[in-house]
Amino acid sequence: MQRIENIQLVTLDAELSDYGLIEDAIVIVNGTHIEWAGPAFDAPSTPTAEVIDGQGGLMTPGLVDCHTHLIWAGSRANEFAQRLHGATYAEIAKAGGGIAATVRATREASYDELLQLALKRAKALIAQGVTTLEIKSGYGLDLETERKQLQVARAVGEQLPVRVKTTLLAAHAIPPEFKNNADGYIDEIVERILPTLADEGLVDAVDAFCESIGFSPAQTQRVFEAAQSLGLPVKLHAEQITNQQGAQLAAQFEALSADHLEQLDEEGVQAMAASGTVAVLLPGAFYFLRDDQVPPIELLRKHRVPMAIATDANPGSSPIHNLQLMLQMAATFFKLTPEECLRGVTVNAAKALGMYGQVGEIKAGMKADLALWDIQDAAELTYQFGVNPLIKRWYDGVVHVPAYKQ
């Protein structure tokens, strides 16, 4: 048992948009779970507990990155340079670049090569206070490589002190074997890839890219129906480039989340509100792609749709492995408040992974996933960037000190 004293404790309530602060707090950890958290003057006696001095730091839940594409091989830095020299995305894609280049490299990479790349990226997120991480497939687009990506994702959670939720994103793009035959590839997903990998226990949720350059609502619906028949929750890349009414489709299936949402309209917001679907905002992609259409933040507030924030770590549109930076970007580009930003990487991000009540808050009975920061105001996590104030983090009740603090 651990008794963490001399801390300021951030409190979150899923029904509110704000957060609270207990200036002199104690958190008691018993094994992998929180046994008690609250004001020091109310704390129960724990004479046999190990006492840990929080040094007056501020404690939040461990951070949750609820949308990443962390497993890929190859680099798209050359394409970034080409675009800066005037090349268009279409020209790059025609020359074999874009997602096709990442698919080729990921298919060619071995399991061990992908694992080493993924561990390096995950460690960068962990060093920022992340304790729960979603990892999607989607750079294989065939059974063998989608399996390989999800196996690597499972291994990341086994080898590092981080909780990993896997998402099958086979419906990410049309592979070369099915060129001009998107419906045929959807058949492959729903009849072979999805049921096989679900049966192997590799899939926690199912995602799709519903977009004018991706899959149609009808094709996406087929993927969702197959997932639903297997008892798997769904989520959706929706309304990033055009409005395909993807958010409404996601809401029909009570999706955990709809993500991106720059082109979301009020009907989509209302549908998400009714279904409890979380809006996952991805400011890194907005920044990297130089987008100028922000998600409808005021509508999401008006209809009380929970907003989460994630890195969208991927090689093409958000090569970013820093969740703290996403807080700053969400505030600067999307005008989220510091309170909304912090909730977006804790309690609301947990909701987006179907983990509400397990992680993302500091309450008795929840997982002892905690982060202790060398700051006095939670707004500092949103305000500053380029520095890392993390003192230490707890994952499943075990303390981990960042390497740079040792």
Q: Is 389 exposed, middle or buried (0-12, 13-18, 19+ CB in 10 A)?
A: middle
**Which residue type, as a one-letter code, is found at position 282?**
L
Cα–Cα dist 305/303, whole Å: 6
Residue 90: predicted pLDDT: 67
Cα–Cα dist 199/145, whole Å: 16
Residues making up the annotated binding site for N-formimidoyl-L-glutamate are 139, 314, 316
Number of CB atoms found within 10 A of residue 90's CB:
9
Q: Which residue has the tokens 């492959």?
A: 188
Residue 273: predicted pLDDT: 98
Residues making up the annotated binding site for Fe(3+) are 67, 69, 237, 312
Residues making up the annotated binding site are 67, 69, 76, 139, 172, 237, 240, 312, 314, 316-317
| 63, 131 Cβ separation under 8 angstroms | yes
Residue 344: predicted pLDDT: 97
| 321, 125 Cβ separation under 8 angstroms | yes
Q: Pull the structure tokens for residue 172.
A: 């990410």
Q: Is 306 exposed, middle or buried (0-12, 13-18, 19+ CB in 10 A)?
A: buried
Residue 20: predicted pLDDT: 85
Three-state SS string over 271-291 comes to HHHHHCCEEEECHHHHHHCCC
Nearest Cα residue to 69 out of 167, 142, 163, 148: 167
Residues making up the annotated binding site for Zn(2+) are 67, 69, 237, 312
Residue 94: predicted pLDDT: 76
**Category of 84 on φ-ψ map: left (φ > 0), alpha (ψ -120 to 50) or beta:** alpha
What parts of the chain have a pLDDT lower than 70? 13-18, 90, 404-406
Residues making up the annotated binding site for 4-imidazolone-5-propanoate are 76, 139, 172, 240, 317
Cα–Cα dist 39/2, whole Å: 16
